[in-house]
Structure 1
């Protein structure tokens, strides 16, 4: 490592360390006042005030309640987008922490308070070191990552993805110790699609099944056959998950229903697997309808795509992060069948999701848990990581 890179690593680390008390205070304030979906008005106001304090000029109301700010370097160049999500979850907090949620039924159980504080730290460092940038860093603070109505889509529609060349986000990961950094090749998260299937039969008395057409028999066959898509049609190394979450048919014991509703989700870790799942799903529905003399109505709704980490970008980030932290990054699979609407950015430009360890000593934490207590040292690691990435990619 050159002397310049060593000095830069020390400078970024020292700057991040010096503001940790302030960033943790912001995180705890946001944690105590969690907001859901697009209702991140208070959180966005905190973000705006912090950016103004740094001498930056943020745009507010981007995609309804998002905040965006560009930090232009001394020289022209590419634009790197860095994103933090701001919204909480409809979970009743049970941590007992002194800064627990003051609002029943709302909690930062996915660590978006950590992400928001981290990106504010990045803003402070880049505002001071902008003379080293050849290009622009766009910071976006996004609402509604946890909701079907995507905050990423809303911000993209408002121009957040215009003229960007690279898009990067981070996510805290309690399975990793605080301070560890993980990069994953391929899919970081899966696509998320939903379906509503109505099987139409013909109602009759249970004693005269031959006088009707039983949609529940067709539903039973359909549920079984749909599971063969994953087990028999997909490469196990490029898999998917099909889940039936709701079935409803009939009204009482002795009447064959005239319809049956099936609802569920399909998740896949590649665009190819996602497309195959939809095609096979429709094919099997048509086959069951034909074979059992029913009519099957399919409403298949595509949600967010899989978040595909760009291999060339991962190749570039590994040495950058190793230089900053003085050790190799954790290069092990850490992908999830969960969904992440940041994939709408990485569909447009090369991008990736970085995982920052947030596991606290002696705890076995998991995201979306009412007792989730991330290690706040993850803010220091995340701030260093994103600041160094922005500087090196634009140097």
Structure 2
């Protein structure tokens, strides 16, 4: 099994070679080089021309009753690193600011253990590209990568959490991450001279009315004990002060803790847009793009088994965590395959996606040990 010093060296190397969604070729090559150095007796390695940077590794079980999947995302963010680390990103403007370097390292540690200790059940490790953008999990599912000999019965994956102690495991029943939908609204009216508003159709005024009306969706149309967010964060209209704008564009995001909530907010936003179009005599086009960023809704039965193991293991620091409004494309896979997502504490004062983010390497071995223990307990059931 890979030792802690090996894993830290792997994490630091991965941290230096961050790559954006669907361009993780150097990362994939390095991961494959590590995987191929492990004992290969029970391993089968798979890549895909259709999703060229992904890797799947199957560990053949001794007497398999099921196939358990474990996912690690491999892409990075368009962030210029400001950590000052000796092993900082070597790729300008790109950084593992979300800790996927640590995600991959933990997965390699788990894989290395089972490459030497054949599991009871089959295990499939999915090193997934394009989590931060481009919906890599959804692409993989729609390509049929989890069918036939590679069908997964239950799926697990982690996300690092800077607000938890290094090595702690956090989880909860229900939703761990919100689903997200990108919102683009185009308003088309008629431009004209500022002195003759009656001869124009003012999209700035219409935009203002639309923005204010949208605020009532959450405050007056959604059950207060349920969670949803609509944020319109960008607006662009007009070219000069004395010309009425004939076009305006609003961009924003929707967040919801269930897919039902996301779809309800989509419908209500469409109704507001339709009403504004009618009221102001203009055309309003609403574009909604959710992709694979569905809510991460944990399977009740499997999550209870996970929580029971982690919370009763004296060697694990377990924390029940609240849901987060951040997005994660593992939610799409959990909507198709039952499973659980959980947090691994990395004790950093800087938040995810920040230029200073540096997860504690002291989380690596406790995380690996806890997950190996859970997988073995699950396979014994």
**Superposition TM-score, scaled by structure 2 size:** 0.93
How much has 1:323 moved relative to structure 2? 5.0
Report what 1:377 is aligned to: 362
1:188-227 superposed matches below 5 A: 188-227=176-215
How much has 1:44 moved relative to structure 2? 1.2
1:284-323 superposed matches below 5 A: 284-303=272-291, 304-322=293-311
- How far, CA to CA, are the matches of 2:35 and 2:346 in structure 1? 25
How much has 1:358 moved relative to structure 2? 0.3
- How far, CA to CA, are the matches of 1:278 and 1:300 in structure 2? 8
8 Å Cα contact 1:64-1:154 kept in structure 2: no
1:164-179 superposed matches below 5 A: 164-179=152-167
1:1-395 superposed matches below 5 A: 19-54=3-38, 55=40, 56-61=43-48, 63-130=51-118, 132-133=119-120, 135-147=121-133, 149-162=134-147, 163-303=151-291, 304-322=293-311, 324-327=313-316, 329-333=318-322, 335-360=323-348, 364-395=349-380
- How far, CA to CA, are the matches of 1:346 and 1:284 in structure 2? 31
- How far, CA to CA, are the matches of 1:372 and 1:80 in structure 2? 31
Q: Structure 1: 5+ residue runs without aligned partners?
A: 1-14
- How far, CA to CA, are the matches of 2:142 and 2:278 in structure 1? 42
How much has 1:325 moved relative to structure 2? 4.6
How much has 1:251 moved relative to structure 2? 2.0
Give the CA RMSD over aligned residues.
1.7
8 Å Cα contact 2:168-2:316 kept in structure 1: no
* 1:349/1:57 CA distance change after superposition, 3 Å: closer
- How far, CA to CA, are the matches of 2:187 and 2:370 in structure 1? 51
How much has 1:377 moved relative to structure 2? 1.5
How much has 1:327 moved relative to structure 2? 4.9
**Superposition TM-score, scaled by structure 1 size:** 0.90
How much has 1:127 moved relative to structure 2? 1.8
In terms of mean alpha carbon deviation, does 158-167 or 33-42 score higher? 158-167
In terms of mean alpha carbon deviation, does 107-116 or 235-244 score higher? 235-244
Q: What do the CA deviations read for 1:232-282 (whole angstroms, capped 9, x no partner)?
A: 111233221111122122221222122222121111111121111011101
In terms of mean alpha carbon deviation, does 138-147 or 34-43 score higher? 34-43
State the aligned residue count: 372
8 Å Cα contact 2:316-2:370 kept in structure 1: no
8 Å Cα contact 1:202-1:212 kept in structure 2: yes
- How far, CA to CA, are the matches of 2:139 and 2:261 in structure 1? 26
How much has 1:97 moved relative to structure 2? 1.3
- How far, CA to CA, are the matches of 1:297 and 1:157 in structure 2? 28
Q: What do the CA deviations read for 1:82-137 (whole angstroms, capped 9, x no partner)?
A: 0011111111111111111122211111111101011001001112222x41x211
3-state DSSP of counterpart to 1:371: coil
8 Å Cα contact 1:190-1:336 kept in structure 2: yes
Q: Structure 2: 5+ residue runs without aligned partners?
A: none
- How far, CA to CA, are the matches of 1:301 and 1:357 in structure 2? 31
